[in-house]
C-alpha cells in the first residue's frame, strides 16, 4: 500500500443532485502523522443544505417506489466499487486518520460486508411487503407495509468515517430513503472517494447527496431542516443533545450513537494471556479512539498483580509509528485537539491520585505527529474524570475486584452503556455476567468483532435506537397498516 497522493488542488466537497460543486468555506485536512496539510476541501452552508434537501425530495418519489431487488443491485455495485478501490481507500484512511494498514483493511472490508448485507435485506423485503396481519375479527383484514421515511440526514464522526457512513447509508438506501450525508470536517477524504464510487453505481440522480463542512455550518441546519424526516447522528454526547434539540422543532426522527465508558471484566478463572490480548485490543485499537473502547479493565483481585505486569509489558511492546511504516501497530491520534484532550485527561488523572504505570507521553522516536505511547493506570479514584469520562485515546484504567457482584456494579456504574467484554474460563459464569451488564453488545472471550447481522448501539446515554441488522433498516422506515372491511 502506498501513501495516498497528497492532494494539492482544492477538492469540491459538495455533491448535490449528481453534480460536484465547490462551495464556499475552505477546510484544511491534515495528515496526523506528519502534521502536514493533506488537502483542502470546500464546505457547504444552510443554503446548500436546502438545495440538497430539495434535490433529494425530488428524487424520493421514484426511488421510494423501486423494488428491493432494484436497490439491492445498486448496493452490490457500490460494494464491488469499494472492493475495487480497496487499496486506495485504505491509503486514505491511513493518511487522513493515521490508521495502520491492518486497521484500515478491517474498516474497508466492513464497508463491503455492510453494503452486501443490506442488499440481501432489501431483496428479502420484497417478499415480506403487504404481509397479512392476523386479527381477532373476521369482519376485517389487515396488511403490513414498511415504507421509507423520506429524506434522511446522516452526520458522522472522524474515528471510523467510512464504517459509520456505511452503517447508515446502506440501510437508508436499502429502505428506499434519499440521503444527505455530512462527513466529519476532520476526515472527509474517504467519504469523498465513496461518493465517486456511488456516482458511478447507477443510483438515480438526487438520491445520494453529500455536503462537507463544519457542524455549525452544515450539521446544525440539517438537524433543523423541515424537509429532513430523520437524522441519524454518530458523535459526541454534547453534539447529540444539540441535534436532538434542533430536531425537536419539527418532531424529526432522531437516532443517536454517542459515547461510551465500557469495561472488560477479567474473572478469576480467566486465561491471563487472552485477557491481556483482549484488554490491549479493547483499549488501543484505533489508538483508543473508539466509542466501544473497554478503557476500564476490572480484574479479579488474585490476578491483579500478574495482569498489571503483563499489560504494562504488552503496552510497552506496541510499535507506535507512522501507519505505513513496516510493522506499525498503533498510529497517531487524529489531530492536535484530540491529542491535547487526551494529554489533559492523563495529567488530571495523575493529579487526582491515579498511578501511571507506563506510557501517556510522546514516543521519543516520533518528534512530529500526534503520537502517544499507550498508557496503563492503576489506583484510579472512582470519582475521577479518568474513571468516569470517555478519554478517546490509548489509556487503560485497571482496577481489582473481590466478587462477581462488585465487578458488575463497577462496570454498570456509568451513564454510558455501549459495550462490555468478559473473560472467563466458565461459560455459565460468562453468560450470567453478560446478562447482568447494562450494555448493548457483550463479547465473551472474544475480540471486538462486529457483524452487520448483529445490532450496534447501547443502553443509557450511549445510544438512541440501534444500527445494523434489520433494526438498522427499520430505523429508516415507517410502518403502515392497511385495514379493510370484508
Ligand atoms: P462530534 O460530536 O464532535 O462530531 C460528530 C459530527 O457532528 C461531525 O460531523 C461534526 O461536524 C458534527 N457536528 C458538530 N457540531 C454539530 C452541531 N451543532 N450540529 C450537528 N452536527 C454537528 O464527534 P467527533 O469528535 O467527530 O467523534 C467522537 C465522538 O463520537 C466520541 O464521543 C465517540 O464516542 C462518538 N462515537 C460514537 C460511536 C457509536 O457508535 N456510539 C461511534 C463513533 C464515535
Averages of pLDDT over runs of 10 residues in the chain (486 residues) are 54 97 92 96 97 98 98 98 98 97 98 98 96 97 98 98 98 98 98 98 98 98 98 98 97 97 98 98 98 98 98 98 96 98 98 98 96 98 98 98 98 98 98 98 98 98 98 98 98
Express each pLDDT in 292-328 by its tens digit.
999 999 999 999 999 999 999 999 999 999 999 999 9
Q: Model pTM?
A: 0.97
Name the residue at shortest CA distance from atom 37 of ligand 1.
Answer: 258
Name the residue at shortest CA distance from atom 35 of ligand 1.
Answer: 235
Three-state DSSP class for residue 230: strand
Grid cell, residue 454, equals: 448483529
Gap from CA of 236 to ligand 1 centroid (Å): 4
pLDDT of residue 152: 99
Q: Which residues line ligand 1 at a C-beta cut-off of 6 Å?
A: 155-160, 164, 182, 184-185, 214-216, 219-220, 223, 234-236, 239, 242-243, 257-260, 291, 390, 392, 418, 462-463
Alpha-helical (H) ranges within 176-271 are 189-199, 220-224, 237-248
Express each pLDDT in 142-174 by its tens digit.
999 999 999 999 999 999 999 999 999 999 999
Examine domains 10-258+462-485 and 263-451 and report if their fold is the same. no
pLDDT of residue 9: 73
Residues 6+ apart with CB under 8 A from 329: 100, 318, 319, 320
Q: Please state which of the four CATH numbers 3.40.50.1980, 3.20.20.140, 2.30.30.90, 3.40.309.10 is assigned to the domain occupying 263-451.
A: 3.40.309.10
Grid cell, residue 94, equals: 491511513
Closest by CA position to 16, among listed 185, 213, 214? 213
pLDDT of residue 7: 53
Domain boundaries, the chain: 10-258+462-485, 263-451
The CATH H-level (homologous superfamily) assignment of domain 10-258+462-485 is: Aldehyde Dehydrogenase; Chain A, domain 1 (3.40.605.10)
pLDDT of residue 334: 98
Name the residue at shortest CA distance from atom 12 of ligand 1.
Answer: 215
Q: How far apart are the first and last CA of the chain?
A: 65
Amino acid at each position: 500500500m502506498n501513501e495516498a497522493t497528497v492532494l494539492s488542488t482544492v477538492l469540491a466537497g459538495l455533491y448535490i443532485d449528481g453534480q460536484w460543486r465547490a462551495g464556499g468555506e475552505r477546510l484544511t485536512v491534515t495528515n496526523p502523522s506528519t502534521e502536514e496539510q493533506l488537502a483542502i476541501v470546500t464546505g457547504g452552508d444552510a443554503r446548500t443544505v436546502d438545495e440538497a434537501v430539495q434535490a433529494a425530495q425530488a428524487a424520493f418519489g421514484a426511488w421510494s417506489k423501486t423494488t428491493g431487488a432494484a436497490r439491492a443491485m445498486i448496493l452490490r455495485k457500490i460494494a464491488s466499487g469499494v472492493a475495487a478501490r480497496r487499496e486506495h481507500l485504505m491509503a486514505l484512511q491511513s493518511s487522513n486518520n493515521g490508521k495502520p494498514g491492518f486497521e484500515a483493511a478491517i474498516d474497508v472490508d466492513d464497508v463491503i460486508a455492510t453494503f452486501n448485507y443490506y442488499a440481501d435485506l432489501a431483496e428479502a423485503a420484497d417478499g415480506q411487503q403487504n404481509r397479512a396481519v392476523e386479527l381477532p375479527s373476521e369482519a376485517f383484514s389487515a396488511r403490513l407495509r414498511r415504507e421509507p421515511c423520506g429524506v434522511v440526514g446522516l452526520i458522522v464522526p472522524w474515528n471510523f468515517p467510512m464504517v459509520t457512513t456505511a452503517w447508515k447509508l446502506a440501510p437508508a438506501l436499502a429502505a428506499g430513503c434519499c440521503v444527505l450525508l455530512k462527513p466529519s470536517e476532520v476526515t472527509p477524504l474517504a467519504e469523498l472517494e465513496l461518493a465517486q464510487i456511488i456516482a458511478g453505481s447507477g443510483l438515480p440522480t438526487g438520491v445520494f447527496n453529500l455536503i462537507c463542512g463544519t457542524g455549525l455550518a452544515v450539521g446544525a441546519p440539517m438537524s433543523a431542516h423541515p424537509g429532513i424526516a430523520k437524522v441519524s447522528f454518530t458523535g459526541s454526547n454534547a453534539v447529540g443533545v444539540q441535534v436532538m434539540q434542533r430536531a425537536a422543532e419539527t418532531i424529526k426522527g432522531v437516532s443517536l450513537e454517542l459515547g461510551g465508558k465500557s469495561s472488560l471484566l477479567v474473572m478469576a478463572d480467566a486465561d491471563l494471556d487472552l485477557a491481556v490480548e483482549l484488554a490491549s485490543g479493547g483499549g488501543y485499537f484505533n489508538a483508543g479512539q473508539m466509542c466501544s473502547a473497554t478503557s476500564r479493565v476490572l480484574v479479579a483481585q488474585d490476578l491483579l498483580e500478574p495482569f498489571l505486569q503483563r499489560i504494562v509489558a504488552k503496552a510497552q511492546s506496541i510499535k507506535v509509528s507512522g501507519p505505513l511504516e513496516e510493522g506499525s501497530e498503533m498510529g497517531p491520534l487524529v489531530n492536535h485537539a484530540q491529542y491535547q484532550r487526551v494529554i489533559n485527561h492523563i495529567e488530571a488523572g495523575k493529579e487526582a491520585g491515579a498511578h501511571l504505570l507506563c506510557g501517556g507521553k510522546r514516543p521519543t522516536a516520533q518528534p512530529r505527529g500526534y503520537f502517544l505511547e499507550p498508557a496503563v493506570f492503576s489506583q484510579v479514584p472512582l470519582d475521577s474524570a479518568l474513571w468516569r469520562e470517555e478519554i478517546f485515546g490509548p489509556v487503560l484504567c485497571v482496577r481489582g475486584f473481590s466478587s462477581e457482584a462488585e465487578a458488575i456494579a463497577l462496570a454498570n456504574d456509568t451513564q454510558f452503556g455501549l459495550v462490555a467484554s468478559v473473560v472467563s474460563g466458565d461459560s455459565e459464569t460468562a453468560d450470567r455476567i453478560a446478562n447482568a451488564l447494562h450494555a448493548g453488545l457483550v463479547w465473551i472471550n472474544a475480540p471486538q468483532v462486529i457483524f452487520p447481522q448483529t445490532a450496534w448501539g447501547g443502553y443509557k446515554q450511549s445510544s438512541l435506537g440501534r444500527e445494523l441488522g434489520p433494526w438498522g433498516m427499520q430505523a429508516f422506515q415507517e410502518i403502515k397498516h392497511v385495514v379493510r372491511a370484508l
